[in-house]
Amino acid sequence: MVAPLAQNDLPALLESLLFVSAQPALLSKLAQALEVDEADVEAALEELAVNHDANRRGLRVQRKRDRVQLITAPAAAPYVERYLGLDLSSKLSTAALEALAVVAYRQPLTRTEIEAVRGVNCDGVLRTLMARELVEPVGRLEQAGRPYLYGTTFQFLQYFGLESLDALPPLPEGQVTGKILEQISEEAK
């Protein structure tokens, strides 16, 4: 039997559930597990995120639409990489950064729409971004041929040290999209 839940316990309980989740958790599933409304989960997640940021904790709350997970703080990345023996410093090409920026800022969109923005074929670049798990198919466009729609992944957020897509800076007018992701990437490292 689960004891009744006090509202001020919700952030700590959410943190525990997120800690043991192998994958990003659905907000609805968290609400169901805690027997509360999704609005309560939203408020508690915000409190948890503010607490982690304000107290310079080693973890951050990362959201993408209706999913959420705990990640290591971007400032800890070089230490985590060294501890785990990882080399995540391999950089993306300019073409890959440009295509990724187009997807990040305009998602969801088709390969043809990405190519229209960039002005060149992006089959190879898109394959690379999917292989690195930075971009994924998120649906299909309801038109002839039903082309895939692409969007960014949680790995995209982690790669650039972002807590959510809302953390993407606004594009300055006339800015080449790949350059802004290059800047974000440098700041995250």
Does residue 98 sit in the same domain as residue 70? no
- Give the structural domain span for 178: 94-188
Q: Has residue 89 been placed in a domain?
A: no
Q: Has residue 50 been placed in a domain?
A: yes
pLDDT of 112: 92
Q: In total, how many domains does the chain have? A: 2
Condensed to tens digits (0 to 9), the pLDDT of residues 68-111 reads 999 888 888 888 878 877 665 568 888 898 899 999 999 999 99
Picking from 77, 105, 139, the residue at the C-terminal end of a domain is 77
Please report, rounded to a whole number, the percentage of residues in the chain having pLDDT higher than 90.
48
Q: Has residue 12 been placed in a domain?
A: yes
pLDDT of 138: 95
Residue 17's domain is classified under what CATH number? 1.10.10.10
pLDDT of 21: 92
Picking from 45, 77, 109, the residue at the C-terminal end of a domain is 77
Contact (CB, 8 A) for 99 and 111? no
DSSP 88-124: --PPPPHHHHHHHHHHHHH-SB-HHHHHHHHSS--HH
Mean pLDDT for 149-164 is 89
Q: Is the pTM of this model over 0.75?
A: no
Contact (CB, 8 A) for 177 and 171? yes
Q: Has residue 87 been placed in a domain?
A: no
Does residue 103 sit in the same domain as residue 68? no
Does residue 65 sit in the same domain as residue 102? no
Condensed to tens digits (0 to 9), the pLDDT of residues 163-183 reads 888 888 887 765 555 556 666
